[in-house]
Amino acid sequence: MTLHHHDAIALSRRNLLRSSVLLGAGAAVGALPFGSQLAHAAAAVGFETRWPKVTAMLDKYVSQKKVAGMVAALGWGEKDPGFIVRGKEAFDDPDSAGENSLFRAYSQTKPVTGMAAMMLIDDRKLKLDQPVADFIPEFANMRVAIDPKNSLESRPAQNQITVRHLLTHTAGLGYAGVGKEKVSAELLRLGVTPAVLTRMKIPGLPVSPPTPGPDEFVKLAATVPLVSEPGTEWHYSMGLDVLGVVIQRASGAKSFEAFLQERMFDPIGMKSSYFQVPASEVHRLTANYGLMGGFPLPIDLSKNSIYLDRPAFAFGGSGLVCSPADYDRFLKMIANGGLVGTRRVMGAASVALGVSNLLPDGVETKGTFIEGAGNGAGGRSGMGRDAGTFGWGGAAGTVGFVNVRMGLRAGVYTQYMPSEALPIHAEFPQTVLADLAAMRGA
């Protein structure tokens, strides 16, 4: 099938990588009280029967062949999750999708990185308002673009970039291939591109130089002007990728990936979470598709996936591949205040801080795609009656969130790009909310 011009535009790097975050109307799961009562009601009948609207959503997209397969994971408190599974790991794959299939998390990596930073804050190795230049000296004298959409002409920054800024997309950093301004175009030109998509040459998808290792990455990033003054505006960025480098340096770990393995993946039991998929696990890797004109075309198949290659480094904003079961374990740890069984992985206070609104004073999100919400440790945080809801979505259709007040966690996993091509990011939380409302009324 030939790619037409409008399809190539739709499948641009900006559209592919921009992560539509979850919880628009779905954030209102925080408005439903009495989590224990809902959990009791949910246990009274068969699992799919408890979640009829979620189940119908999966049936719809798979039966219409919009996606090859989908997995929903839903759980309460310390209980194991239930899974609703439909379809295959790829359209031409005999293996059914399942809770142990591997999905490209893309920006769902951000809350993982955010909570890793909270661990170091708990350890007193990092401070929320500590200058990033303490760990990356090149960031000590940043400049701000005067007209970032049209020029790289710049002035000295008045504020230092802090850990809080990296966590909440308020550092003023650009995002290669995602932003529409000259700053992000310059990052792309330099290869400061913290993401991988495909080995295929796709019309309309600009090619950038290979991404360098973490040390050179942050050095190059520091040479490009900021989009805005640090701490003053919400601007979706590569902040979590830079934060991964900060975490590695602050912890003294061999790498950011090594830190996650030792402090998070192993203690939580996340045995199917990778930045490079091992050859032995390729049979579990799902295929990723580009939706063009509503028709899915493969852009990254398991046997020759770009995720089989070693990345330049572990991208804290987009690099994780994991199973639905593993990501649910991560959300379960958050829902239980940092506990996994009787083992404490994170301090309860650091979890509570991480899911709260960490935006600097005076920063507004009106007009952004998190309008009406706050920004916690790498994820969107509910405000007001929605407080305690925390999560994010990925550029290939995945969504995961937790409500710590109710002990509820929920995620849906599929693979298509751009995420805006289907309304799954918004629809999944809405169906969860509708099913919860029905349980409450039962």
pLDDT in tens, 293-324: 889 999 999 999 999 999 999 999 999 999 99
**Of residues 184, 234, 239, 240, the one with CA closest to residue 368:** 234
Q: Which of 28-42, 195-209, 287-301 is most confident?
A: 287-301
**Of residues 216, 309, 316, 211, the one with CA closest to residue 259:** 316
d(CA 134, CA 441): 53
**Quick one: 66 and 153 in the same domain?**
no
d(CA 368, CA 389): 19
d(CA 330, CA 389): 15
- Residue 19: the pLDDT is 43
**Quick one: 285 and 426 in the same domain?**
yes
**Quick one: 198 and 55 in the same domain?**
no
3-state secondary structure at position 93: coil
- Residue 281: the pLDDT is 98
Token pair listed for 230: 């640090």
Q: Choose the final residue of a domain: 186, 216, 251.
A: 251
**What value does the mean pLDDT take over residues 175-189?**
91
Domain with residue 161: its CATH number is 1.20.58.710
| Statement: residue 4 has pLDDT above 70 | no
**Quick one: 205 and 333 in the same domain?**
no
Structural domains counted in the chain? 2
**Of residues 320, 337, 346, the one with CA closest to residue 402:** 337
Q: Give the pairing of strands 416-417 and 288-292.
A: parallel
Beginning with the edge strand found earlier in the chain, give each strand of the sheet holding 288-292 in spatial order.
295-300, 288-292, 416-417
- Residue 39: the pLDDT is 54
Q: DSSP code of 96? A: B
Residues 6+ apart with CB under 8 A from 404: 334, 335, 337, 351, 352, 355, 388, 390
| Statement: residue 14 has pLDDT above 80 | no
34: how many CB neighbours lie within 10 A of its CB? 12
Cis check for the bond before 131: say yes or no (omega within 30 of 0). no
Domain with residue 44: its CATH number is 3.40.710.10
User: Which of 144-148, 198-202, 435-439 is predicted with the least confidence, judged by mean pLDDT?
Assistant: 198-202
**Quick one: 281 and 401 in the same domain?**
yes
Are 351 and 118 within 8 A, CB to CB? yes
**Quick one: 435 and 336 in the same domain?**
yes
Place 286 in a pLDDT band, splitting at 50, 70 and 90: very high
Are 440 and 32 within 8 A, CB to CB? yes
Higher per-residue pLDDT: 400 or 13? 400
**Residue showing tokens 């359209």:** 91
| Statement: residue 292 has pLDDT above 70 | yes
* pTM reported for the whole predicted model: 0.92
d(CA 350, CA 377): 10
Q: Name the residue range of residue 431's domain.
A: 5-118+254-441
Strand partners, 288: 300
| Statement: residue 258 has pLDDT above 90 | yes
- Residue 201: the pLDDT is 84
- Residue 6: the pLDDT is 31
**Quick one: 275 and 399 in the same domain?**
yes
Q: Choose the final residue of a domain: 234, 251, 268.
A: 251
Place 442 in a pLDDT band, splitting at 50, 70 and 90: low
- Residue 80: the pLDDT is 95
**Quick one: 260 and 391 in the same domain?**
yes
**Residue showing tokens 């401070």:** 127
Mean pLDDT of the chain: 91
Q: Residue 437: is it exposed, middle or buried by C-beta count within 10 angstroms (0-12/13-18/19+)?
A: middle
Higher per-residue pLDDT: 96 or 32? 96
**Quick one: 300 and 152 in the same domain?**
no
3-state secondary structure at position 176: coil
d(CA 40, CA 386): 22
Find the distance separating the first CA and the last CA of the chain, reported in whole Å: 49
**What value does the mean pLDDT take over residues 205-216?**
90
**Quick one: 229 and 197 in the same domain?**
yes
Q: DSSP code of 285? A: B
**Quick one: 153 and 16 in the same domain?**
no
Q: DSSP code of 396? A: T
Place 16 in a pLDDT band, splitting at 50, 70 and 90: very low
- Residue 28: the pLDDT is 44
- Residue 294: the pLDDT is 85
Residues 6+ apart with CB under 8 A from 252: none
Q: Choose the final residue of a domain: 236, 251, 266.
A: 251
**What value does the mean pLDDT take over residues 110-115?**
98
- Residue 402: the pLDDT is 98
Are 353 and 360 within 8 A, CB to CB? no
3-state secondary structure at position 172: coil
**Quick one: 195 and 294 in the same domain?**
no
Report the amino acid identity of residue 279.
A
Q: What is the pLDDT of residues 347-377, one digit of tens each?
A: 999 999 999 999 999 999 999 999 999 999 9
**Residue showing tokens 């990254």:** 300
**What value does the mean pLDDT take over residues 329-346?**
97
Size (the chain), residues = 442
d(CA 377, CA 370): 14
**What value does the mean pLDDT take over residues 321-343?**
97
Please give the backbone phi and psi of residue 294, each rounded to the nearest 5 degrees, phi first.
80, 0
d(CA 324, CA 273): 10
**Of residues 130, 94, 139, 164, the one with CA closest to residue 378:** 164
Q: Could you give the C-alpha distances from 249 to 109, 132, 139, 215, 253, in angstroms and in order?
A: 19, 11, 14, 10, 7
